[in-house]
Structure 1
Amino acid sequence: MIKNDKVEIIRDEELDEIELGDIQQFKEGEMYQIKILGGKESVLLSLQNGNFFCVGNSCAHYGAPMHKGVLGSGYVTCSYHNAQFDLTTGKALNGPSMDGLPKFETKQKDGKLYAILPKTLPLNIEPTFIKRDPQDNRVFIIIGSGPGGYSAAETLRQEGYTGKIILISDESFPPYNRPALSKNLKVKVDNILLREEKFFNDKLELEFMKNTKVESVEPVTHTVKLASGSILKYDKVLIATGSTPNQLNVPGSNLNNIFVLRNIEDNNSIQNFSKEGARVVIIGSSFIGMELASAMNKLGVKVTIISNSKTPFESSLGSRIGNALKNLFEQKGVEFFLNSKIKCFRGKSGNVNGVELDNGEVIQADAVIYGIGVTPNTSILKNITKRSDGSLEVDPFMKVVNSQDVFVAGDIASFPYFKTGELIRSEHWNSAMNQGRIAAKNMMNKFVPYSEIPFFWSSFFGKSIRFSGFAKEYDDICYEGEVDKLNFIAYFTKNQKVIAVAYMGMDNFTSIASEAIKSNLMPTLSELQLSLANSKSITEKVKNHINKVDIQKIN
């Protein structure tokens, strides 16, 4: 019995060449789940341009079955969270995973196809990193250890950078899975670490400065000043400082037990009120607030949501989807006060005990949690103009415009969306991860533009919603399926074009939607309304398109 990272695998130690099937049964441009060892394990097999590719069938992110995803030209994309992997190498290309899929060689003999498997079948493969060269005097500083900073640090070493890396974080822990904080109020930081701390020292050979605050970044002098007074010189700097949750400035806002949720310490504080019978008011009815409401309700907390919107998710998903989700929450016992404004917080002995609305109604509360948006953390950057929302404008290479050697990633970046050219922000985990990758490559002068379709996911009460595209402004929404039953696809359109898609209960459409938007394969609004196109026809169109792309042109 051999123990792997996450499962125990029992294998015949003499078995290393496994038959996958007759060669003629596999079709060009298709992928297959091949069960092996009596169905206990499986691999993913695909055939493109006459070449067979065999990789692990469990996503390196959350273990989702890769055969339910989308086969691209030279890559495969997971249907859960859009993690994308190279079929030739197994390397993670995009999405929330830095680890790759195991890649297995194939062999043809007597009309049969075989896979050459290792004695222990791994679940994922750690990237290969170049060693630090003490003779390389370049210094790259990364400020922020969230998804953007974390992915940039690994990418630098993957792509061949041998100079010094300094990773600065104001937190006490190595990078961790921040999206878990609003979905799990019993989480322990050790269970959500993206990498152990020794990984950064041993594998990336970088200087990891925890619990360190940055006072300023001076692009003119290429220096970073720490709150301690120390000055660090850099050749290039990546700022990935994320954002700060917004709060209300009303009477009583300084009372105790009024929280935001941004880091593990915030989660730990909120955990004290995540118990049977506690009364918690959540201000805001978008993703953070609704995820928290779901997580707390399942723990027996009496949750009340106050929002100035007419429906939950009104600005992001529209009123029809918002009302359907509101019904789900109300069925679970969550109470809503919508289209409401807060007059003040009431308290006793310094602790909040109620929230008073502008109509005089008071909602009792043992704790209050904000979920009303964020503001980019860019105050440390000096002598560079910021946009009205506090973000930094970058070019397609994630470099701050009108600056030298300053790159950014994540919430603080306003980047040119490659589909429209407009400057947008995407405050989501996948976007920050991918921007960190791109920024790192361009810090090395590789000149790779950022050209990804924004994607995010959320979940409440065991139901997931996924969103591909960008639709801050749209003309119409066309629906497929049953919105009231939370089994639907919603096509957001502008000028007859589908610019974004939201979907629930149809996980297999996740990677299809992103691919269709990116490759201009979406139908028009009229075609959707006249039932001339639907998710099935879009899926076929994407598959046909991919089969026409030459695999040799894909990096």
Structure 2
Amino acid sequence: MQQRVVDHNELRVGEMRAVKVGSTPVLLVRLDDGYHALAGRCTHRPRPLARGTLHDGRIMCPRHQAAFDARTGDALEPPALDGLPTFPVEEREDGVYVTVPDGAAERRVMPMGRRDAADGRLFAIIGAGAAGAVAAETLRQVNFGGRVVMISHECQPPYDRPNCSEDYLIGKIAPESLPMRPAGFYEDHAIERYHGTVTELDVPTRRITFEDGQQIRPDAVLVASGAIPNRLRIPGGDLEGVFVLRSWEDSDRIIAAARGAQVAVIVGAGYIGLEVASSFIHLGMQTTVVAPEAIPLAASLGPAIGGHVRHLHERRGVRFLLGRSVVEFGGRAHVERVLLDDGEELATPFVVLGIGVRPATSFIRGVQLEADGSLAVDEQLRIAGGAYGVWAAGDVATYPEPYTGRRLRIEHWRTAQQHGKTAALSMNGHGEPFRGVPFFWTQQYRLALGYVGAAPAWDEQLMAGDVEAGDFLAYYLEHGQVRAAAGTRERQLGAFAELLRSGRMPPADLLRDRPDSDLQCLLAQGRED
């Protein structure tokens, strides 16, 4: 179907607009070489892309910051894995026309190379989470012809881990919606999935030993084994009914235990703990959160936003016991009560721990681990500068973060996916420095909060908007340098990410004077210059 959508000059260069051709949502983009038309919704979640950010030929989704090439529709940044279909555009005397074929798809798998039987190389990926799955796909996309083997102790295919504490936990999505790819995808692209536990990786020799004693020696190895949730080493810490939440299996255990449960205690007021609290309130449980800090999330977001999050939960019935610690779980075989450091007892058969994670690296041999148990890597995510043919990505990797000048380990789903792509390119000889902008999101009730950048030691916060009204953007500075932003204004966060990526972050004094500055306008001004 062909349809006229706009006049010739209705859009300026650098603008985009949502239009429809028949009933099909289309994104119309005008760049310096003319008009381009693409499918109108993000391939990660079906959000309208016209509400996002257009800069430097990139379209960024407003919600989770997936990015696409505005000309080709190629997926450039996760969490989107698939690209956008493009549609023919014709400029006539009376306007701009777009043609959408009947039955047009909403997404397209990025082109993948084939397995070459003559290529005897073996690349092994230890871990099938965010980093590992993206690395495997990227290797095929850059036409690596050897064997690609993803090794995982989990029997499930790569899946959407963030949903384990959100929509899946409350039954909003079904189990079949969790996998990142449809059944048969990995087989179709000759990506082997190996279910097994790695007990040792000798980094200098790349020798991998499995639990059953078998060994392999790949030509290249990516360590993407993720993280292990922390447990409390206190009396009763191993009782039944005390759960952690990291995996699909963990989520299934919690879902089963929640059936018929009326009371729950969550230990930890970080992002996982608060997302679980939000889910438990949705399920109708009386929920208490115990944590040692005075204000939830204050260390990363500041007291005003942390206080707002607390009040948001309290208005829905969550009870907070802050400044407290758990010293014992009581019960025989199953937890029955939680004993706090001030002597208070909480009766409950159901406890979830959300007290952080540690890198899953206990199997690593032959190199020194960092103090937190992670692996030090360079700008291409190589261990020891690539001398051993071993890379590390995601939660296990401490890497040179390019926008702070610090060596950081970032436990974000999207960062792990970005790592996976960079590591795979380097493994296949197309290495380039990692330049991904950190981003994560949290969904608690109707609060959708995003965080862009990294400011682990921020010493100044600037605030725009009204926190209590849920319409705000906060900036985080270190020694006068703008490092990160967090808030609910999605388009502002998208513009912030692009300003950071392109090295055009406005000076701190401008944001101090005008914290409500329209970052989209600042981004557009740079384009016009």
Any idea what SS the aligned residue of 1:90 has?
coil
Which region of structure 1 is more displaced relative to structure 2, 117-126 or 321-330? 117-126
Aligned equivalent of 2:270, options 286, 296, 307: 286
Alignment of 1:228 onto 2:212:
yes
Q: Secondary structure at the match of 2:254?
A: helix
Amino acid at match of 1:244: I
Of 252, 257, 269, 2:253 maps to 269
CA deviation profile, 1:143-170 (whole Å, cap 9, x unmatched): 1110100000110111111111111111
**Residue 9 (structure 2) pairs with residue 19 (structure 1):** no
Q: Distance in 2 between matches of 1:239 and 1:21?
A: 50
Shift in Å, 1:276 = 5.9
**Structure 1 residues 116-265: aligned runs within 5 Å:** 116-184=99-167, 185=169, 186=171, 187-202=173-188, 204-210=189-195, 212-265=196-249
CA 1:81/1:547 → structure 2, altered by over 3 Å: closer, same or farther?
farther
Specify the alignment match of 1:534 in structure 2: 516
Q: What is the DSSP-based 3-state SS (H/G/I as helix, E as strand, rest coil) of the residue aligned with 2:384?
A: coil
Amino acid at match of 1:295: S
Distance 2:210 2:174 in 1: 29
Alpha-carbon contact 1:20-1:112 (below 8 Å) kept: yes
Q: Which amino acid aligns with 2:516?
A: N
With 337-346 and 276-285 compared, the bigger mean Cα shift is at 276-285
Which digits, 9 at most, give the CA deviation of each residue in 1:299-336, with x for residues without a partner?
A: 11111100011111122112111111101101100001
Runs of 4+ aligned structure 1 residues displaced above 4 Å come to none
The alpha-carbon deviation at position 33 of structure 1 amounts to: 1.4
Residue identity matched to 1:256:
E
Cα deviations across residues 477-531 of structure 1 (Å, max 9, x unaligned)? 1111111222111111122221110112x22223112112233433344333333
Q: Structure 2 residue aligned with 1:70, among 53, 67, 72? A: 53
Q: CA offsets per residue over residues 441-492 of structure 1, 9 Å max, x none?
A: 0001112111111100001112111000101101111111111222111111
Task: Give the corresponding residue for 2:487.
Answer: 503
Quote the Cα distance in structure 2 between the aligned partners of 1:139 and 1:77. 35
Amino acid at match of 2:234: V
Matching residue's letter, 2:256: N
Cα deviation, residue 111, structure 1: 4.4
- Out of 341, 352, 362, the residue aligned to residue 379 of structure 1 is 362
* Selected match of 1:312 from 278, 296, 310: 296
The separation in 1 between residues aligned to 2:340 and 2:443, in whole angstroms, is: 29
Aligned residue in 2 for 1:34: 19
C-alpha contact 1:70 1:76 (8 A) present in aligned 2: yes
125-134 or 216-225, larger mean C-alpha shift: 216-225
Q: Percent identity?
A: 32
The equivalent of 2:505 in structure 1 is: 522
1:509–1:535 contact (8 Å) kept in structure 2: no
2:419 and 2:513 map into 1 onto residues whose CA distance is 38
For the residue of structure 1 that corresponds to 2:395, the secondary structure is: coil
CA contact (8 A) 2:205 2:388 kept: no
Confirm whether residue 94 of structure 1 aligns to residue 70 of structure 2.
Answer: no
Give the match for residue 36 of structure 2.
Answer: 53
Cα deviations by residue, 1:329-378 (Å, 9 ceiling, x for unpaired) = 0110000110112121111x311011111111011111111101100001
Report the Cα distance in structure 2 between the residues aligned to 1:372 and 1:255, rounded to whole angstroms. Answer: 17
Q: Quick one: which amino acid aligns to residue 8 of structure 2?
A: I
1:443 equivalent in structure 2: 427
Q: Which amino acid aligns with 2:355?
A: I
- State the secondary structure of the residue aligned to 1:256: coil
The match for 2:524 among 525, 538, 543 is 543
Who is 1:405 aligned against? Answer: 389
Deviation for aligned residue 1:244: 0.3
Residue by residue over 1:521-553, the C-alpha shift from the partner in whole angstroms, topping out at 9 and shown as x without a partner, is 33344333333x5241x22111222355xxxxx
Q: Are the aligned partners of 1:275 and 1:299 in contact in 2 as well (CA < 8 Å)? A: no
Matches of 1:109 and 1:271, distance apart in 2: 57
Give the SS at the match of 1:150.
helix
CA distance in 1 between counterparts of 2:150 and 2:27 reads 36
Q: Does 1:80 align with 2:63?
A: yes
Kept after mapping to 2: 8 A contact 1:478/1:529: yes
Q: Tell whether the 8 Å contact from 1:521 to 1:541 is kept in structure 2 after alignment.
A: no
Q: Which amino acid aligns with 1:194?
A: M
The CA RMSD measured in Å over matched residues stands at 1.5
In structure 2, list runs of 5 or more residues that go unmatched: none
One-letter amino acid of the structure 1 residue matched with residue 197 of structure 2: K
- Answer yes or no: is the 8 Å Cα contact 1:278–1:366 preserved in 2: no
**1:275 offset after TM fit, Å?**
4.4
TM-score by length of 2: 0.96
Q: Which amino acid aligns with 1:201?
A: E
Letter in 1 for 2:142: E
Query: Which amino acid is 1:544 matched to?
Result: Q
Superposition deviation, residue 381 in structure 1: 1.7
- Counterpart residue number, 1:491: 475
Aligned amino acid, residue 114 of structure 1: Y
Q: Which amino acid aligns with 1:160?
A: N
TM normalised by structure 1 equals 0.92
CA distance in 2, matches of 1:297, 1:275: 13
How far has the Cα of 1:277 moved from its partner? Answer: 5.3
Question: Is the contact between residue 244 and residue 375 of structure 1 (CA under 8 Å) also seen in structure 2?
Answer: yes
State the Cα distance separating 1:221 from its structure 2 match. Answer: 2.4
Report how far residue 176 of structure 1 moved. Answer: 0.7
- Report the counterpart of residue 9 of structure 1 in structure 2: none
Give the deviation of 1:43 after TM superposition: 0.9
CA shift, 1:22, in A, is 2.2
Kept after mapping to 2: 8 A contact 1:512/1:542: yes
Report the equivalent of 1:458: 442
Q: Return the offset for 1:109.
A: 2.6
Q: Which runs of 5+ in 1 are unaligned?
A: 1-14, 549-555
Alignment length, in residue pairs? 525
| Correspondent of 1:468 among 432, 452, 460 | 452
- How far off is 1:278 after superposition? 1.7
2:285 alignment partner in structure 1: 301
Could you tell me how far apart the structure 2 residues matched to 1:55 and 1:88 are?
8
Tell me how far apart the structure 1 counterparts of residues 14 and 152 of structure 2 sit (CA, whole Å).
Answer: 45
2:184 is paired with a residue whose SS is helix
Tell me if the contact between 1:237 and 1:407 (Cα under 8 Å) persists in the aligned partners: yes
Q: Which residue of 2 aligns with 1:552?
A: none
Offset, 1:87: 1.8
Mapped partners of 1:223, 1:155: distance in 2 = 23
Aligned counterparts of 2:165 and 2:302: Cα–Cα separation in 1: 22
